[in-house]
Structure 1
Amino acid sequence: MKKASLFILTVCSVLAFGQKVSDYKYVSIPEKFSTFKEKFGMDTFLAKSLKGKKYVVLQGSKDQWPSEAKENSCNVLNADIIDDSGFLRNKVMLQFKDCNDKVIQSNKGASNIKDYEQGFQDALRQSLLAVPVSNPTILAPVETKTNEPVKTTPTTENTSNASMASKYSNGTLVLQKVQIDNSQFILVKSDSSVPYATFKETTKRDVFRVKFENGDTTIGYYENGNIVIEIPTANGGYSKDVFSGR
């Protein structure tokens, strides 16, 4: 249950703070991660993954940053990767902090791959599962020296947050559905931080390529509001594994 609590905390941590990761357009990746002597390619991996989630990644000299990021640091979310490794597994903690050094979201990932570069990147990939797609709110105004009060625009809670989870069950398993982006989602068991199955869209509406945690693949689809997975049988046919919303 500890893993379940950790995963749910990771997915829903955006609700514990006034600001969410998806509220930001810009994410800064440092030249050096705070607890790593080497990067092991994680900076490149993180940048590519965040760009895939529609964030604008900032690296290098601030002189090259866009003006709305350069002139107001509160428009920028600061990413860091912390070494959380144990004796037998490579583990990382991916953190996002605002301009006041407040943690907005913190995700953990782990890998059994012993090679440092491959293992840390695999752990980072796991930690990125709960990072939602960028859906920025109105950026904070650039600071100017005026005596006029600054008007703020209230923001509303985004009820379609991509990282929000919903429950589905086949009568035996109760799984959390987590929408990663517009083209894929995962089902995760309550006792695991590793996805039970990953669904990626195909060219046919509501039909998905499904990959299980053990590497096996099949197809899945929506049917009458349920998630259906076709399971190969010993006689060469398929049976339906139907997960209904709860």
Structure 2
Amino acid sequence: MKKTYLIFALLLGICLTSLGQNLNSYKYVVVPDRFDFLKEPNQYQMNELAKFLFEKYGFTAFMASESKPSDLSMDSCNVLYADVIEDSGLFQTKLQVLLKDCRNQVVFTSEEGKSKEKDFKQAYQEALRNAFNYVEAINYKYDGNSAKVKEEVPETQIRNIPGPAKEIKQEGKVEEVIVSAIPKKIQKETKVLERVSNKRSYFSGELEVYLLQTEYGFQLVQKEMEEPFGKLVKTGSANHFIYSTLQNTGIAFFDESGNLNVEILTENGNTTSTKIYKLKN
């Protein structure tokens, strides 16, 4: 039992560590003055609280309306843009923290922070603090060296991404650029994800579910139901996700056949169980 728990903890730790390493190359976080689910700027002090929590967990954060350092203004791609989204139900307030890069791509999505408080301010603030537990788990620490490597990628490497051929007019000598092959492991993971990139049907026993792609990963929706019952949240590994439902949390991945394999941590916290959603052919 201890062995299975350690394996699960190791997998989760690897996902969070990999994700943290990806975020360490970003120097700043910008928090908006108002979140979309609220009516007023900094309503319930939510935006100031988000900034405070980012700073508490090692980030250098600014409000969108604040004056900012010159290197942030000159290079908007060394900054992450924070957002908080709401998915509350009738009896529970649920919030998630998102981080986007300068291309508006989501690079981090927290698990849901939840609260059963009835007072709006208390509920929102408690849910936000709980969502930030997953930000804390990343163990963020700015690494200027990794940021420098990212900035110093040779221009020829950036321009030679496989894609449709285009006619390019050049003056002077044209240098031959050799592009190295894409590693087999990446090709393999990419092919697996391509199989599930659109709406696909899966079976777990007699239960049929759909996987709907979202900006943070996938939603799991039971057939003939409108509301999702679970989520797959992206991690730093291309083919590994954090699996989350109201009842369970775990680590998920797609195998070579496109089936969804989930390692679920049981309620006693000592063992894991495996659940497989088989891809409908």
TM-score by length of 1: 0.50
Please give the secondary structure, in 2, of the residue aligned with 1:113: coil
> Comparing both structures, which one devotes a greater share of its residues to strand?
1
Please give the secondary structure, in 2, of the residue aligned with 1:50: helix
Aligned 8 A contact 1:47 1:57 in 2: yes
Structure 2 counterparts to residues 1-246 of structure 1, below 5 A: 12=15, 15=18, 20-38=22-40, 39-61=43-65, 64-107=67-110, 108-131=112-135, 132-138=138-144, 139=147, 149=155, 190=265
Rounded Cα–Cα distance in structure 2 between residues aligned with 1:51 and 1:65 = 15
In the superposition, relative to structure 1, how do residues 61 and 40 fare at CA in structure 2: closer, same or farther (>3 Å)? closer
Gap runs ≥5 in structure 2: 1-7, 159-234, 237-248, 251-263, 271-281
Sequence identity (%): 28
How much does 1:77 deviate? 0.4
Rounded Cα–Cα distance in structure 2 between residues aligned with 1:13 and 1:46 = 20
Aligned residue identity for 1:89: Q
Gap runs ≥5 in structure 1: 153-162, 165-174, 177-188, 197-242
Rounded Cα–Cα distance in structure 2 between residues aligned with 1:97 and 1:104 = 6
How much does 1:76 deviate? 0.6
Asked which structure has the greater CA Rg, the reply is 2
Please give the secondary structure, in 1, of the residue aligned with 2:38: coil
Rounded Cα–Cα distance in structure 1 between residues aligned with 2:47 and 2:17 = 23
Rounded Cα–Cα distance in structure 2 between residues aligned with 1:77 and 1:86 = 29
Aligned 8 A contact 1:24 1:135 in 2: no
Q: What are the Cα deviations for residues 197-240 of structure 1, in whole angstroms up to 9, with x where unaligned?
A: xxxxxxxxxxxxxxxxxxxxxxxxxxxxxxxxxxxxxxxxxxxx
Larger deviation: 40-49 or 97-106?
A: 40-49
How much does 1:60 deviate? 3.8
Aligned 8 A contact 1:14 1:105 in 2: no
> Comparing both structures, which one devotes a greater share of its residues to helix?
2
What residue is the counterpart of 1:239 in the other structure? Answer: none
Rounded Cα–Cα distance in structure 2 between residues aligned with 1:115 and 1:82 = 19
Q: Report how many aligned residue pairs link the two structures.
A: 149
